């Protein structure tokens, strides 16, 4: 498995592009990704009960698993927009199909941005027809740019996977910087591969990879109205996704999703730290998850990370209120490789060493509950002044 350039258009047979159609002022806001041949598709969508129009449309479109194109706009989420929103999302599908000369059933649609305002659909329609002829195998960067909102950086990755029968590729692009609670609050991820895979298998592989990546940075079960992860698999590599090829693909898609997720954490709104919270020794898997998510979501923990303060008391307090079974006398805590808590009490002299570790941009906090053999991990980031600035001033 080798890291290569090219993002979502690294796999053979995919073209993409992006441009500014005028939703955002002078900033790229419309992207299209398409497989030149037929492709399988799979997707996971937000569990939020308030679902944006494009989520409803794409969920319906993907039910047969036979989609080859995605149109995405940023700057406007097309959420809480009623019947007009649904009509607009369908229009995006139809105009994209028209410009690409494919069947409308093959097109998926995503939006991200402000909730509750109607799309400037005429600008978007014009943009789609302008963008169609510009799509190219080198359009990955323009696409990755077009889907961003408050992200500081584009998020792209591609892998080449050699097998005994030849080589296939997996590419990805994503947006999402608001990992505290996903901002406005959307995480979008697009994955491509030139391996031939049937839709049910593709769906299973995507779900597994999402669980170990994007679901490990979405804190507290919070999901946006628009969260979506999509994968398109054409067969341009000439390889079939079976046996060892499929195993290799499962590894590759996990790696692609983890890489994109870690890019989101590092780009967290106003974040200066990316910290892995590892909870070991819980008496059940669910308990470990509860504890990890509570710690990752605690404002007191997150401000301590920002302040580079080895305040293990806040970790203990969050742990005790997580709903996870805890016996304080059995708890051990490490910051990086420095143990700061033993039997629920502080280790003398450990705080200075821990403080030095917390000056790093990334490290792991490990809690061993001493009650069982289960473990769960999650990524979090710190809470800084800039988070407040970005989110208090987002619309003004």
Interaction of residue 80 with its own copies, rule CB under 8 A = yes
> How near is the Cβ of 312 to its own copies at its closest, in Å?
6
Residues 49, 349, 359, 373: which binds its own copies (CB under 8 A)? 49
If one asks whether residue 384 binds its own copies (CB under 8 A), the answer comes out as yes
Helix (H) / strand (E) element for 394: namely none
Distances (CA, A) of 348 to 8, 37, 309, 382: 51, 64, 16, 26
Query: Scanning residues 205 to 224, which ones bind its own copies (CB under 8 A)?
Result: 221-224
Q: What is the DSSP letter of 168?
A: E
The two structure tokens encoding residue 98: 């028209």
Q: Does 319 bind its own copies (CB under 8 A)?
A: yes
With binding defined as CB under 8 A, does residue 185 bind its own copies? yes
Candidates 70, 180, 191, 275; binder of its own copies (CB under 8 A) is 180
**Choices 19-27, 46-54, 90-98, 251-259; region in contact with its own copies by CB under 8 A:** 46-54
Answer for the pair 93, 61: CB distance below 8 angstroms, yes or no: yes
Quick one: DSSP state of residue 240? Answer: B
Q: Which is nearer to its own copies, 34 or 210 (CB)?
A: 210
Q: By CB under 8 A, is residue 377 in contact with its own copies?
A: no
Distance CA 371, CA 298 (A): 23
184 binds its own copies (CB under 8 A): yes
Q: Edge to edge, what strands does the sheet with 345-346 contain?
A: 345-346, 338-342, 332-335, 362-368, 274-282, 374-381
Element holding 102 (H helix, E strand): none
Say which residue the tokens 């929103």 belong to: 85
**To the nearest whole angstrom, how small is the minimum distance from the Cβ of residue 394 to its own copies?**
8
Q: Which of residues 341-360 bind its own copies (CB under 8 A)?
A: 341, 343-346
Please choose, out of 1-9, 76-84, 96-104, 373-381, the segment that lies near its own copies by the rule CB under 8 A.
76-84
3-state helix, strand, coil in the chain (%, to 5): 40, 25, 35
What's phi and psi for 179, nearest 5 deg?
A: -75, -10
Which of 325, 336, 370, 377 touches its own copies (CB under 8 A)?
325
**Active site amino acids:** 186
User: By three-state DSSP, how is residue 33 classified?
Assistant: strand
Dihedral (C-alpha) 180, 206, 164, 5: value to the nearest 10 degrees? -40
336 or 346, CB closer to its own copies? Answer: 346
- Which of 37, 116, 133, 162 is in the footprint of its own copies by CB under 8 A? 116
Cis peptide before 111 (omega within 30 of 0): no
Number of amino acids touching its own copies (CB under 8 A): 65
Told to check if 311 binds its own copies by CB under 8 A, we report yes
Considering the complex, state which of residue 265 and residue 318 has its C-beta at the smaller distance from its own copies.
318
Q: Catalog residues that contact its own copies under the rule CB under 8 A.
A: 47-51, 77, 79-82, 114-117, 178, 180-181, 183-185, 221-225, 298-300, 303-304, 306-307, 309, 311-314, 316-321, 323, 325-328, 341, 343-346, 383-385, 387-389, 391-396
């Amino acid at each position: 498995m080798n890291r290569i350039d090219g993002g979502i258009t690294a796999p053979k047979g995919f073209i993409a592009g992006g441009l500014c159609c005028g939703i955002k002022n002078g900033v790229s806001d419309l992207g299209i990704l398409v497989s030149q041949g037929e492709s399988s598709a799979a997707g996971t969508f937000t569990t939020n009960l308030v679902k944006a129009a494009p989520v409803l449309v794409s969920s319906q479109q993907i039910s047969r698993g036979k989609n080859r194109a995605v149109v995405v706009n940023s700057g406007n989420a097309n959420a809480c927009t009623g019947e007009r929103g649904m009509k607009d999302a369908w229009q995006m599908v139809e105009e994209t199909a028209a410009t690409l000369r494919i069947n409308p059933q093959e097109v998926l649609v995503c939006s991200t941005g402000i909730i509750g305002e109607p799309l400037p659909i005429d600008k978007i329609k014009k943009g789609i027809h302008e963008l169609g002829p510009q799509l190219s195998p080198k359009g990955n960067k323009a696409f990755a740019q077009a889907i961003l909102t408050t992200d500081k950086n584009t998020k792209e990755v591609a892998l080449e996977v050699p097998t005994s029968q030849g080589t296939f590729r997996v590419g990805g692009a994503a947006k999402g910087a608001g990992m505290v609670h996903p901002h406005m609050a959307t995480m979008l991820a697009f994955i491509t591969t030139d391996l031939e895979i049937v839709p049910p298998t593709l769906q299973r592989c995507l779900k597994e990879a999402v669980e170990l990546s994007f679901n490990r940075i979405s804190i507290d079960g919070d999901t946006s109205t628009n969260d979506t992860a999509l994968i398109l698999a054409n067969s341009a590599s000439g390889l079939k996704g079976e046996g060892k090829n499929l195993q290799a693909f499962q590894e590759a898609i996990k790696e692609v999703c983890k890489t994109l997720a870690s890019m989101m954490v590092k780009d967290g709104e106003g974040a200066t730290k990316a910290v892995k919270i590892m909870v070991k020794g819980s008496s059940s898997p669910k308990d470990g998850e509860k504890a990890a998510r509570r710690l990752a979501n605690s404002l007191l923990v997150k401000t301590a990370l920002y302040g580079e303060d080895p305040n293990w008391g806040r970790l203990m307090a969050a742990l005790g209120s997580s709903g996870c079974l805890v016996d304080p006398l059995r708890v051990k805590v490490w910051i990086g490789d420095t143990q700061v808590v033993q039997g629920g009490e502080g280790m003398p002299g450990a705080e200075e060493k821990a403080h030095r570790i917390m000056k790093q941009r990334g490290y792991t906090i490990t809690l061993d509950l001493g009650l069982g053999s289960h473990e769960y991990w999650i990524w979090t980031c710190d809470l800084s002044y800039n988070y407040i600035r970005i989110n208090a001033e987002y619309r003004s």
